[in-house]
Homo-oligomer: A and B are copies of this chain.
């Protein structure tokens, strides 16, 4: 491969610093012919339009302009769109894969790994309650009976066997937990391979530990109804790292207000939330600002991961981050 791939890098410097490591910049200079965004901001469609004629690869991330059919018509040589972020849905035309001209790459599987670590960290946070212990020690109380709880041998209920769920399940392996999954698309064979048991959504909601991984789709909007949320057992741990839209937030807040179980919520229905959100008054709820998939290391590796995969594609090798047509159709 002597000819270098003409790469249009859409993120401006400030965003690039988050998703593109020094190694990735070097790789782009060595293996591609990159055009950097020096404007200091995300391109407007008007700024982007005249840059498209030569582009063979477009690298995008959060904040990049949507690649409409109109814009893509101005990129006749385009063969790859690689997104250094999560979902590409609604960022490219829904029929983009139909012509077979352009191949799509998304760093979503890399992001899922971060979410897996978030879920285990949030779960252990709620089991151990370190901030309370730490405050007690500093206030002069040493042993006062507050003990951590163990994860080993517990039962964990998972809503949807998505890629983030699988990353979480991976990290749970050495704990010897019993995993129950609700997922209408999970086959018995796939469940066996994952080491999980397929159950109903009602059964998942009755587990002592529940983690929600449902993709945000029209079909999953409000999936966890007030009725289902009422099933959460006393003393349970409830974690949502997927999307606020998949549950009835008012009903969850009402259940949490009783204090009968604890929760970690990385996502809310409205982000950022109103400053007087009723969850803000509940100390037994861990609130994080939709960062489960955005770790320091994870973010910095996003562009390199998809770029390396494009280079694999260019060499005719098997890809890891490519979105194939049949997956695209059912994607969130």
A184 to B17 Cα, complex, angstroms:
44
Indicate which residue in B124, B136, B149, B151 contacts A289 across the interface (CB closer than 8 Å). Answer: B136
CB distance from A143 to the nearest CB of B (A): 5
For the side of the interface on A, what is the size category? 35 or more
A180 to B286 Cα, complex, angstroms:
33
A288 touches B133 (CB 8 A): yes
Cβ proximity bits A127-162 to B, threshold 8 Å, 1 near / 0 not: 110110110111011111011111111000000000
A289 touches B127 (CB 8 A): no
CB distance from A308 to the nearest CB of B (A): 15
B148 touches A291 (CB 8 A): yes
A147 to B296 Cα, complex, angstroms:
6
Q: Which stretch (A28-36, A113-121, A216-224, A249-257) binds chain B?
A: A113-121
A121 touches B128 (CB 8 A): yes
A114 to B298 Cα, complex, angstroms:
29
CB distance from A294 to the nearest CB of B (A): 6
B291 touches A133 (CB 8 A): yes
A289 touches B174 (CB 8 A): no
Closest to A136 in B: B289
Would A125 and B117 be within 8 Å (CB), given that A137-B289, A138-B287 are in contact?
A: no
Interface centre among A121, A141, A286 (most CB of B within 10 A): A121
Cβ proximity bits A229-273 to B, threshold 8 Å, 1 near / 0 not: 000000000000000000000000000000000000000000111
Indicate which residue in B113, B121, B142, B153 contacts A127 across the interface (CB closer than 8 Å). Answer: B121
List of B residues within 8 angstroms of A152 by Cβ:
113, 117, 297
Closest to A149 in B: B296
List of B residues within 8 angstroms of A141 by Cβ:
289
Indicate which residue in B121, B149, B298 contacts A297 across the interface (CB closer than 8 Å). Answer: B149
B147 touches A295 (CB 8 A): yes
Interface centre among A124, A125, A272 (most CB of B within 10 A): A124
CB distance from A330 to the nearest CB of B (A): 27
Q: Which residues of A contact B (CB under 8 A)?
A: 113-114, 117-118, 120-122, 124-125, 127-128, 130-131, 133-134, 136-138, 140-144, 146-153, 170-171, 173-175, 271-273, 275, 280, 286-291, 294-299
The 5 lowest CB-CB distance pairs between A and B, nearest first, are: A142-B272, A121-B124, A137-B287, A150-B297, A150-B295
